[in-house]
Amino acid sequence: MVRTDPSSPLIATPAAPAAELPDRLVELAETLISTWGSWAPTLTPDASRMAFISDRRGTPELWVQEVGSLTEPGQAPPPRLITLSADPVVAVRWSPDEQWLACAVATGGGVRTQVWVVRPDGTQARRLAGSATEHAVLGPWTRSGHRLVITFPGPGSADHGSAAQDSADHGSAEPESGEPNGAHSRCVLIDPVSGVSQTLATGELIDVLDLSRDERYVLLRDGERGAQFCVMLDREHDVSYRMLPYPDTGSTDLGKFRPSPPGERHPLTVYFVSDAGRPRRELIAQGVADGGERGPAGTLARRDDAELELLDADAQGRLLSLVWNVAGASEVELLDTATGQRRLVSGLPGFPGSDCVVSDCVLSRDGSSAMLCVEGPASPRALWRLDTATLSITRVSDRPAAAMPALVTPTLERFVAHDGLPLTGWLYRAVGGRPGPAMLSLHGGPEAQERPVFSPQHQLMAAAGVTVFAPNVRGSSGYGHAFVHADDRYGRYDAIADVASCVGFLTDSGLADPAQVAVTGRSYGGYLTLAAMVKYPELFAAGVDICGMSDLLRFYRDTEPWIAAAAVSKYGHPEHDASLLKALSPLSGAASIAAPLLVVHGELDTNVPIGQALDIVRALQDLGRPVEYLQLAGEGHEYRRADSRLSLMEAMASFLVRHLS
């Protein structure tokens, strides 16, 4: 097995310049990348102001805007930039007392984040936690707004139990054993004024979902990917209690404390978004009373055709907003907790039920309005204000001045895998005759999902005459508990076989010339690209691996410790399943890769470290195979800067047009 030192030079042919592309494609790429968006809204208690993230200046930054009584988008005052540092802003939360904005900033553009606070007028900006070597995760504010939760992920381990589980079993918020706290994640409360912190809890992979209004109860989530459980910590009595249908585990994405509806036995209710013990993610409600008494975890809202994705609640728990994932598109409902009445939101062009995705839905404290972040295949992320009484929707974020070119609207296609498992994918048909060149685009995760969002990459390739098919192979989210776990450990072989089924769908449907099919993907999708090129070399004319894993054992060794600890449930244990991981590693079968390959990686990636790219490039060089390499300076696992994304798109389009012509 070939190894490389990340600092050693590579002799691979560099990625081809954009000059090889026709002028019209270069211009389209520049237009698509410069078409910025706005997302991640957070509101003041009276919903008169919002803070959000926008990349209108080329990188994600923090902005503040008045939104109070808007009725027309033209009335929106211009947003104001709040400067923190040169690093991208990835999350923001307005404190309930309106005094602070708390932000997560990607250190150097990489995986680790810092937590900053700043006054809404842009003054007193300072870093509370995190550095180049310390990862600090932004958590919720307390309801008073005086303190902020920050989590410091520990190194993690696949060989010892969880401290949060210990606390649930033994009635303590601290580890039962004598193991030092440094071996665990640590959740703390920090006062942004004084900087004084107080430890809430420690645990292997814990984070804080919410705190009760009086800060007595803390809702904690722990566990590996797809195998999470929740406990409630009673800080007054230093006791923890299991929540949800323990010992069932699953993906628990959200949990919120709110006052119970009138007439309920328990004064407090926890609302969960989870598939623990259930076939799909749904809304689960569980009552809580003093002394730790918990009611049964009952279903409050579920759908057979969709998974619950987002949840928010007003301050009194009277109104809940629910965002459902329906085969990738979004539908929004409002739920009255007293009556159980559910109202479907409509009114936005192309919404709901069509090809558009809601990535945020934030309710005001009084429940009178909500802020939605919506995007579609032909429109980047934008912010819309929903009046919850009338269900009228008004756009509140501005938009790029440049006119949007005509773009492709994808269609949702359904087909079956090699073993009969139903699969879906989004098809972007290229203009022109068929069959012709086609590109599979495999998403990351693997628990992510391909959805009808604004994708400059897909649009550029379709404009270049290459049909794009972006499937959801087994292991993707959005299709239920069984589907998302169908690729765990030995199921990885079937996920790789799904890629061949996707090629079969394209060729059998007359959408692609069998001699002109490429496979591409990023992160896990990059891994799947390499794995498919090893397993089915005869199917592909070219491949593009973007920040993918080539050696799973080295991935465990070199990635961030908390990422490795959480991945065991998906990929297997680096010691107990070493032979499986070696067999599944594309580097082990590099000699089978026959088609030209473009490898792209960010130099600062600590999620999938750059050695994963250098190893596969060096192996193919030594074998005399055609390989090109593009390294993106100053980028981590996510490519957040416009110039980096443009370089990637142009190199990818140039490479594929050359090899699929």
Give the mean model confidence (pLDDT) for residues 5-15: 46
Here the CATH number for the domain that contains residue 589 is: 3.40.50.1820
Encode pLDDT of 503-540 as tens digits. 999 999 999 999 999 999 999 999 999 999 999 999 99
pLDDT at position 75? 59
Whether 19 shows a pLDDT value over 80: the answer reads no
pLDDT at position 16? 52
CA distance 472 to 442: 8
- Residue 629, token pair as written in the block: 């390499």
Q: Which of 90, 111, 135 is the last residue of a domain?
A: 135
pLDDT at position 354? 60
User: Would 164 be classed as within a structural domain?
Assistant: no
Provide the Cα torsion 269, 270, 274, 276; round to 10°.
-80
CA distance 555 to 605: 12
Residues 476 and 376 both lie in one domain: no
Q: Are 637 and 111 in contact (CB under 8 A)?
A: yes
pLDDT at position 521? 97
pLDDT at position 164? 39
pLDDT at position 176? 31
Domain that holds residue 331: 303-397
Residues 528 and 437 both lie in one domain: yes
What is the H or E stretch that residue 497 is in?
helix 492-508
Whether 118 shows a pLDDT value over 60: the answer reads yes
Q: Which of 120, 135, 150 is the last residue of a domain?
A: 135
Residues 389 and 418 both lie in one domain: no
Here the CATH number for the domain that contains residue 73 is: 2.120.10.30
| DSSP code at position 78 | P
Band the pLDDT of 385: cuts 50, 70, 90.
very high
Give the mean model confidence (pLDDT) for residues 613-636: 96
Q: Which of 339, 372, 397 is the last residue of a domain?
A: 397
Band the pLDDT of 303: cuts 50, 70, 90.
very high
pLDDT at position 556? 95
Q: Give 466-494 as a 3 state SS string.
A: CEEEEEECCCCCCCCHHHHCCCCHHHHHH
pLDDT at position 477? 96
Percent of the chain with pLDDT over 90: 81
Band the pLDDT of 4: cuts 50, 70, 90.
very low
pLDDT at position 290? 84
User: Would 387 be classed as within a structural domain?
Assistant: yes
Report which of residues 353 and 425 the model is more confident about: 425
Nearest to 306 by CA among 331, 278, 270, 337: 331
Q: What are the Cα distances from residue 507, in Å, to 438, 521, 554, 616?
A: 9, 20, 36, 29
Band the pLDDT of 109: cuts 50, 70, 90.
confident
Residues 594 and 457 both lie in one domain: yes
Arithmetic mean of pLDDT over the chain:
89
Whether 3 shows a pLDDT value over 60: the answer reads no
Helices 456-463 + 642-660 axis angle, to 10 = 30
Q: What value does the CA radius of gyration of the chain take, rounded to a whole number of Å?
A: 24
Residues 591 and 488 both lie in one domain: yes
Q: Give 170-236 as a 3 state SS string.
A: HCCCCCCCCCCHHHCEEEEEECCCCCCEEEEEEECCCEEEEECCCCCEEEEEEEECCEEEEEEEECC
Encode pLDDT of 169-226 as tens digits. 333 333 333 333 335 899 999 999 998 999 999 998 999 999 999 999 999 999 999 9
Give the mean model confidence (pLDDT) for residues 611-626: 97
Residues 411 and 382 both lie in one domain: no
In whole angstroms, what separates CA 634 from the centre of its chain? 21
User: Would 177 be classed as within a structural domain?
Assistant: no
Domain count, the chain: 3
Band the pLDDT of 410: cuts 50, 70, 90.
very high
Residues 498 and 637 both lie in one domain: yes
Band the pLDDT of 2: cuts 50, 70, 90.
very low
Residues 519 and 618 both lie in one domain: yes
Residue given tokens 């992920």 in the structure block: 153
Give the mean model confidence (pLDDT) for residues 146-152: 95
User: Would 105 be classed as within a structural domain?
Assistant: yes
pLDDT at position 53? 98
Give the mean model confidence (pLDDT) for residues 585-612: 96
CA distance 151 to 208: 8
115: helix, coil or strand? strand
Encode pLDDT of 429-488 as tens digits. 997 767 899 999 999 999 999 999 999 999 999 999 999 999 999 999 999 999 999 999
User: Would 171 be classed as within a structural domain?
Assistant: no
User: Would 433 be classed as within a structural domain?
Assistant: yes
User: Would 534 be classed as within a structural domain?
Assistant: yes
Whether 158 shows a pLDDT value over 60: the answer reads no
pLDDT at position 351? 53
- Poorest-pLDDT segment among 22-26, 288-292, 554-558: 288-292
Residues 128 and 87 both lie in one domain: yes
pLDDT at position 424? 98
In whole angstroms, what separates CA 395 from the centre of its chain? 24
Whether 13 shows a pLDDT value over 60: the answer reads no
Provide the Cα torsion 596, 446, 507, 417; round to 10°.
140
| DSSP code at position 461 | H
CA distance 382 to 476: 26
pLDDT at position 161? 33
In whole angstroms, what separates CA 27 from the centre of its chain? 29
Residues 516 and 626 both lie in one domain: yes
pLDDT at position 246? 81
Residues 421 and 393 both lie in one domain: no
User: Would 192 be classed as within a structural domain?
Assistant: no
CA distance 474 to 471: 10
Band the pLDDT of 355: cuts 50, 70, 90.
confident
- Residue 61, token pair as written in the block: 């930054």
CA distance 429 to 451: 16
Band the pLDDT of 400: cuts 50, 70, 90.
confident
pLDDT at position 286? 95
Q: Are 349 and 291 in contact (CB under 8 A)?
A: no
Highest mean predicted confidence (pLDDT) among 5-19, 175-189, 577-591: 577-591
Q: Which residues of 183-211 are buried (b: 16+ CB within 10 A; e: fewer)?
A: bbbbbbbbebeeeebeebbbbbbbbbbbb
| CB count in 10 Å sphere of residue 21 | 22
Whether 490 shows a pLDDT value over 90: the answer reads yes
Encode pLDDT of 61-107 as tens digits. 999 999 865 445 455 678 999 999 999 999 999 999 999 999 999 99
Percent of the chain with pLDDT over 70: 90
Residues 510 and 642 both lie in one domain: yes
